[in-house]
Homo-oligomer: A and B are copies of this chain.
Amino acid sequence: MSEFSYEIVEEISVLSSNAKGWQKELNLVSWNGRPPKFDLRDWGPNHEKMGKGVTLTNEEFAALKEIITRM
């Protein structure tokens, strides 16, 4: 059995939501007590269920910002 903990440190933005209450969100999330990372992910209502997503380090987020602002 394995466990992990997470804490949504900052809710940055909700990118979309659907009829069932799931939302695609950009947040700062701390995993297992570690320093928070940027996190792009689907969440169920009230963050009770977690869907698929990616975490981004500060460096990856900076790279994403650089490319996205040029698009």
Contact = CB atoms under 8 A, between A and B. Distances in A.
Interface of A: 12-13, 15-16, 24, 26, 40-42, 52-54, 56-57, 59-60, 63-65, 67-69, 71
Given A16-B59, A40-B40, A59-B16, A64 B54 contact: no
B67 A13 contact: yes
B16 A63 contact: yes
Number of copies: 2
Mostly, the A contact residues are strand
A15 B56 contact: yes
Given A15-B63, A16-B60, A16-B63, A41 B54 contact: yes
B24 A56 contact: yes
